[in-house]
Amino acid sequence: MHRFYLFFLAALVWLPLAVQGQDNVPQHLEQILTDWMKREPMEKVYVHTDKPYYAAGDTIWLKAYLCAGAKNQLSAISGTVYIDLLQGKEIRMSLRLPVVSGTAKGDIPLPLDQRAGVYTLRAYTQWMRNFDAAYFYHRTLTVGQPFTQSSTEKNQTAASPSHQQKVADDSAVPKPEVYFFPEGGTWVHGLYTRVAVKAVDAQGKGLATQGIITDAAGNEVAKWEHQHAGMALFWLAPQAHEPYTAHVTFAHGQRADYPLPKVAESGQVLQVDTHAEADTFRVRIQTTADAYGTYYLLAHKDGRLLTLTEVTMKKPLAQLLIASKEFPIGVVQFTLFSAKGEPLNERLVFAHPADTLQLMGSEAVDAEQSLLSYTLQAKNAEGFPEAGTFSVALIDENNYPSLLICTIGKAYLPICC
């Protein structure tokens, strides 16, 4: 979540110079954003697979979608998509698929001697290689051994409490990584701030934690409880020149201390929440007394300007309600600018407007031929047929061994941010 849009920020580095001496800062902010997207259009890849888990000897059937722009329209930028199956950092298999009308389809056959474990499916285009590799598509896939009685006994042994205890006793537990993210990117003296906590182990898996925050005198000033996938949060109005320490207790009993980020003496804090009113974001801007003045709040998605609001700070707190009904679905970037056009704070939020697409399905069974047919209809909000390109995966969970799902599925839980 804390990864910024690097190339957008790179364009903003020279923004203060571009708008210096200009009377209409909002207009120039909008123009620079538009020019940036024309020069550096962003392309994204999404891969739909037929299953989330496989066994050696299976085939991974897939369809790739290439999208561009804030509305995720099918992209015409690239004509080829590259798909890799990795184990760790080693590429096990690769595909090079032609793109037709923004989509591509293919398959990856897994040999019978395929090693069981956790794999990563990676997809990208040559155009995407011009940017940070973090924008490549990544998905975790689990591959197990073919289901047999001997493999069942092996999985039961691996899952037994005595075996798990032995692994825990015989292996050294390294100190986990714990990160602290003040909302909006800054932690400022006297401003009540929400701080996100993220704890991960050496493999990047989320760890459940609880903790307390103490000041230099050892007084407890805040605390948190685990919420989901190694994530939690707490609130605090920090004091400048006061060192803070997080005392963290992990679910397995390990304890560790971590220093918190340094507190700035002056500045701004940007907070964004969903509002009780549907399709609305509540934006709260706080500033120290020496930072009162004019600011500009810009919201955009993939280069498309959504809102641009001028805010005059004459007191410590300003609150705005931003209608998001017309926002496209996905991650929206809020940026707070100074009167000179300098980017000060950043906040990423997920916009989820009401979905107007209606998907309706019906199935029919042919007992004589043992066939199941499934009809899918796509309609818009008015009930009329909606044109589009779709992919559907149908699997029978009853024919896939639940033991294999449980023992392997718990081996690795990907972190979604």
Q: Are residue 158 and residue 195 in the same domain, yes or no?
A: no
Q: Are residue 109 and residue 216 in the same domain, yes or no?
A: no
**Residue 392 forms part of a structural domain:** no
Q: Are residue 98 and residue 165 in the same domain, yes or no?
A: yes
Q: Are residue 284 and residue 202 in the same domain, yes or no?
A: no
Which of 214, 239, 259 finishes a domain?
259
Q: Residue 37, exposed/middle/buried by CB under 10 A (0-12, 13-18, 19+)?
A: buried
Residue 380: strand, helix, or coil = coil
Q: Are residue 58 and residue 165 in the same domain, yes or no?
A: yes
Q: Phi/psi class of residue 338: alpha, beta or left (left: φ > 0; alpha: ψ in -120 to 50)?
A: beta
CB contact at 8 A, 297 and 341 = no
Q: Are residue 278 and residue 344 in the same domain, yes or no?
A: yes
Which of 217, 242, 259 finishes a domain?
259
Q: What is the pLDDT along the chain (417 residues), one digit of tens a residue?
A: 333 343 344 444 444 434 444 457 777 787 777 777 777 778 899 999 988 889 999 999 999 999 887 677 889 899 999 999 999 889 999 999 999 999 999 999 999 999 999 899 999 999 999 888 888 999 988 898 875 545 445 444 444 444 444 434 434 567 899 999 999 999 999 999 999 999 998 777 899 999 999 999 999 999 999 999 899 999 999 999 999 999 999 988 899 999 998 999 999 999 999 876 778 899 999 999 999 999 999 998 877 889 999 999 999 999 999 988 888 888 889 999 999 888 999 999 988 877 777 777 777 777 676 677 777 788 887 888 887 777 777 666 554 433 233 322 222 222 222
Q: Are residue 187 and residue 92 in the same domain, yes or no?
A: no
Q: Are residue 58 and residue 155 in the same domain, yes or no?
A: yes
**Residue 73 forms part of a structural domain:** yes
**Residue 394 forms part of a structural domain:** no
Element (H, E) at 300: strand 293-301
**Residue 193 forms part of a structural domain:** yes
Q: Are residue 188 and residue 289 in the same domain, yes or no?
A: no
Total count of domains within the chain: 4
Question: Which residues constitute the domain of residue 88?
Answer: 43-171+402-409
Any idea what the CATH number is for the domain that residue 102 is in? 2.60.40.1930
Q: Which residues contact 243 (CB under 8 A, 6 or more apart)?
A: 215, 216, 259, 260
Q: Are residue 50 and residue 160 in the same domain, yes or no?
A: yes
